[in-house]
Amino acid sequence: MHSRSIRTMLFALVMLCMSASAFARIGVVITVGPPPLPVYEQPICPGDGYLWTPGYWGWGDDFNDYYWIPGTWVEAPEVGFLWTPGYWGWGGDSFVFYDGYWGPQVGFYGGINYGFGYFGNGFEGGRWDGGHFFYNRAVLNVNVTNIHNVYNTTVRETTVNRVSFNGGNGGVNVRPTPEQEAAAHERHIGPVAAQTQHSQEARNNPEQRASRNQGRPAIAATDRPGDFKTNVVKASEAGGRYTPAPNRAEGNTRPAPGHVKDLPAAEKPAPPNTGDKKLDQKYQKQQDKQYGQQQKERQKLQQQQEKEDQRVSKQNNDARRQQVEQQHQQQTQQLQQRHQQQSQQMQQRMSAPAPRPEGGKPR
């Protein structure tokens, strides 16, 4: 019984670390957004029940470069589930990637026009009906000889560009709607195993790196996840001029902070300015409360790290000291990431349209 409890605790610890690593960018601070989205054709759908997942740029900490993860068809993990693509967003001092997920509704994906039904808002490529997915042939490449549950509805794209990130300099300036925020809180699951294997295959292929393909990958899309040899589609052109991330140049890689004391001083957020005095006062209180709580968390973790540093310095154990330093770096990055996400969520709430009471006039 005792060993089983230990195994359970270890498993929980591993899962916690995995969850944290999915959000933290360890090793470097990415200050330049990913290249524009390349231009490519969609491979034909391999079979009924497969849903399209758009291609996107990933980041490799170990080689300090963006790499292209091809768009591909993936079997939906559950009937009724749709894919919300991940996206890159400016987090205040660096770019952060927000993972995609499967769920009953398509949520916010940064306003990025990935194409093939994902034109920046929602999904126009198909719908679930009676336990079957119906494909919109106007935007998806489907062979009607093999798949009969199709329809044809023309979709007009309001904005056509190849921008691959939200916010920052040159990014898409779009915020989530209340409905999109609600979708993120509904029951959903992360990428399935086939998608994880697919992205790992792209990471391990040097030709997928932006520095090698100049934003025009030889494998832009595949008809099945993880298969980079058969029925692959090459990008016809880069989506725009490729600018190498300065992180790649020697001497420009900025190490991640190792301790809370290494973080820059936290700046108080700018006062709200929604045009509604009462609403501004409400948001100001929420901002002050959040800022105060974040400061307390910083101080508490800094004191904890300083005590542990003092304790390990007396042990004269290099292995233990290195282990503690790694723990402190991870703690610091997780704290920084969490506070950035909290601040961004606060800004999104303040920039959302004011609720309308009965009668239709803004409050």
On whether both 59 and 201 belong to a single domain, the answer is: yes
On whether both 89 and 180 belong to a single domain, the answer is: yes
On whether both 212 and 273 belong to a single domain, the answer is: no
On whether both 204 and 56 belong to a single domain, the answer is: yes
Q: From 128, 164, 119, select the one nearest 149 (Cα to Cα).
A: 128
Q: Is residue 19 part of a domain?
A: no
On whether both 141 and 290 belong to a single domain, the answer is: no
On whether both 171 and 52 belong to a single domain, the answer is: yes
On whether both 207 and 320 belong to a single domain, the answer is: no
> E strand or H helix at 56, and its extent?
strand 56-60
Q: What percent of the chain has pLDDT over 70?
A: 83
pLDDT of residue 116: 95
Q: Is residue 251 part of a domain?
A: no
Hunting for tokens 């969609």 — which residue is that? 42
On whether both 196 and 50 belong to a single domain, the answer is: yes
The Cβ-side half-sphere exposure at 226, using a 13 Å CA radius, reads 8
pLDDT of residue 353: 55
pLDDT tens-place string over residues 37-50: 999 999 999 999 99
Residues of the chain with pLDDT under 70: 1-29, 157-159, 245-257, 348, 351-363
pLDDT of residue 10: 39
Give the span between the Cα atoms of 173 and 191, in whole angstroms: 26
Q: Is residue 53 part of a domain?
A: yes
**C-alpha to C-alpha distances, 150 to 9, 136, 291, 315, nearest whole angstrom:** 48, 6, 51, 69
Number of domains in the chain: 2
Domain extent for 304: 260-351
> E strand or H helix at 233, and its extent?
strand 232-233
pLDDT tens-place string over residues 224-270: 999 999 999 999 999 987 777 655 543 344 455 678 887 777 777 77
Task: For residue 246, give the DSSP letter.
Answer: G
On whether both 268 and 134 belong to a single domain, the answer is: no
Q: Is residue 103 part of a domain?
A: yes
On whether both 270 and 341 belong to a single domain, the answer is: yes
pLDDT of residue 351: 63
Helix (H, G, I), strand (E, B) or coil at 121: coil
Q: What percent of the chain has pLDDT over 90?
A: 53
On whether both 240 and 268 belong to a single domain, the answer is: no
